[in-house]
Amino acid sequence: MELISCLLLGSAVGLVSSFLGVGGGIFIVPLLPTIAGVSSSQAVATSLFTVFLVTSKNIYAFNKKRQVPWAAALNLAIGASIATFLTSMVLDQINESYLVLALAAVLLGTAIRLFFQGKAEPIKDSEITKSFDYRALVLGFFCGSIVGVTGIGGGILYGPLLLGFKMVKEEQMAPGSNVVMFCSSLMASIGFALNADQIDFPNLGLIRMDLALMIFASAFVLSKIGHKYQGGIDPKKRKWIMASLLVLMFIKTIWRYFA
């Protein structure tokens, strides 16, 4: 039953994330404890390892099309990676109720932002920031700390930052965000591995590698369908569907907290 549930979760993650552009972590962390009976800290660690696998595939595809803004993305990734690495080393010492509340706050806050978000103005080539921005380093660290505690991939945080600092144009946001997610989730996974007493498959510290691989495998297959049809949905409808899903995940998270 656990196998089927994880494959279904992965299918949903692959389909919805590719169709709507939402990172899989916002579904994995709230649902995995119910599906597989893992703790919140295990769900966070497993989610970040899954994000590492998924973004590896995405970056390969984006890079083949020469769409990755490497310099801009790494500008933000430095701070984010440091934060997720440090967080991974102490995650198992954080009270589980705090992890659940932190996730709920991020889900609700992101949903509210999407509900009230206006249409972004196009960024001109002349407006793109070329130099290193220390504000991006600090905010990357802040967002990476949130990612490390909640287990979300961070696309819903990193993407708006890249646009807000005018480091990328809108069409480069997804490739750039994937680079930041890849770096931060990789460093988190390394931290979990270093913090493990021993590697005893399927456990790598707090990471349940078997669950991560099952979710990734089914997400990989279903994401092809999402990519095929994702261009056919109206951006406004996409935003409202995404926000509604975030609210549902918020309700699920709060229900688990009080249950």
Question: Which pLDDT score is estimated for 232?
Answer: 60
Highest mean pLDDT among 16-20, 25-29, 81-85, 131-135: 81-85
The 10s digit of each residue's pLDDT in 72-94 is: 888 889 999 999 999 999 998 88
> Which residues, 6+ apart, have CB-to-CB distance to 133 below 8 Å?
75, 165, 167
pTM of the model: 0.86
Neighbours of 231 (CB within 10 A): 7
pLDDT at 187: 95
- pLDDT of 230 > 60? The answer is no
Under a CB-based contact definition with an 8 Å cutoff, are residues 71 and 175 in contact?
no
Q: What is the mean pLDDT of the chain?
A: 81
**Helical spans, DSSP H, in 65-154:** 70-90, 96-116, 134-150
Q: Mean pLDDT across the stretch 159-171?
A: 74
pLDDT tier for residue 257 given thresholds of 50, 70 and 90: confident
Tell me the per-residue pLDDT of 185-194, one tens digit each, with 9 for 90 and over.
Answer: 999 999 988 8
**Dist. CA 150–CA 104, nearest whole Å:** 9
Single-letter amino acid code for the residue at 13? V
- Mapped onto helix, strand or coil, the DSSP state of residue 221 is helix
Phi, psi (degrees; rounded to nearest 5) at 20: -110, -15
- % the chain with pLDDT above 70: 83
Structure tokens given for 124? 């001109």
Distance CA 26, CA 7 (A): 16
Sequence-distant (≥ 6) Cβ neighbours of residue 236 within 8 angstroms: none
Higher per-residue confidence, 85 vs 19: 85
Q: What is the pLDDT of residue 114?
A: 73
| Confidence (pLDDT) at 183 | 93
pLDDT at 18: 64
